[in-house]
Amino acid sequence: MGPPGVGKGTQAKRLREWLGVPHVSTGDILREAVAEGSALGKKVRGYLETGQLVPDGVMGELIEERLRRTDTAGGFLVDGFPRTAEQVEILHRVLQGLHVSLDRVFVLTAPEAEIVRRISGRRLCPKCGRLYHIDSQPPRAAGVCDGCSAALVQRPDDVESVIVERLAVYQKQTLPVVAAYRGQGIVVEVDGSGDAEAVSARIRSELGSS
Ligand code: AMP
């Protein structure tokens, strides 16, 4: 968990390699649906474009379907869910049905100035989902994905007007969710500033110390 642009996607992708478990990113699933123009994509497009949260009912079905797939049997990493109190309940119910519980909730933090700098320089490969930053994590050739040579894009919700809205939505709807998990003693706050490797090392040391 953590505000938009704090590095959740980058860290989850690194952790996925390290732990060998699938990375379930609700944002990635929704963006793919929008790109494909599927029924789900058509339903959620407006929310993503304006930085609003997709309704809990839609998200509940999506996360349940995803977590029930067999590839999650050895564990999984959820990124971008839950984001509301209702979604905490939904996740609890789905996990109970799967007879598993959350081991940890990592909360990444960073100063707002760094968040805005990261989001505005962020670039995404629309084909393989790889993330770049024009200053701190540039591709080898400007504007082109190192892995699959597709032209990199900026997420449409990474423009300033939408960033402000996403930060406000995080403060209002998602921060209280962190408090709910804090009560269960599974929250680990991690300083998300600095380069990606330094942040990964902090997360790995927390996991290693269990
Ligand atoms: P993210 O990539 O996690 O920043 O998500 C991008 C956008 O997808 C958000 O601004 C929301 O519009 C939507 N979204 C992703 N995850 C959720 C969620 N758990 N609940 C509601 N909307 C979501």
Q: Which of 83, 118, 123, 130 is catalytic?
A: 83
For 19-35, the pLDDT digits (tens) are: 999 999 999 999 999 99
What is the average pLDDT across 99-106? 95
Does 82 sit behind a cis peptide bond, omega within 30 degrees of 0 on the bond before it? yes
pLDDT value of position 209: 58
**Is the minimum distance from the CB of 170 to ligand 1 under 6 angstroms?**
no
Number of Cβ within 10 Å of residue 118's Cβ equals 22
* Nearest atom (ligand 1) to Cα of 26: 16
Q: What average pLDDT does the chain have?
A: 94
pLDDT value of position 101: 94
Per-residue pLDDT band at 113 (split at 50, 70, 90): confident
**Is the minimum distance from the CB of 26 to ligand 1 under 6 angstroms?**
yes
The burial of 24, by beta-carbon neighbours within 10 Å (0-12 exposed, 13-18 middle, 19 or more buried), is given as buried
**Is the minimum distance from the CB of 63 to ligand 1 under 6 angstroms?**
no
Annotation marks residue 8 as catalytic = yes
What is the average pLDDT across 117-122? 90
Report how far ligand 1's centroid is from the alpha carbon of 157 (Å): 10
Asked whether the predicted pLDDT for residue 59 surpasses 60, the reply is: yes
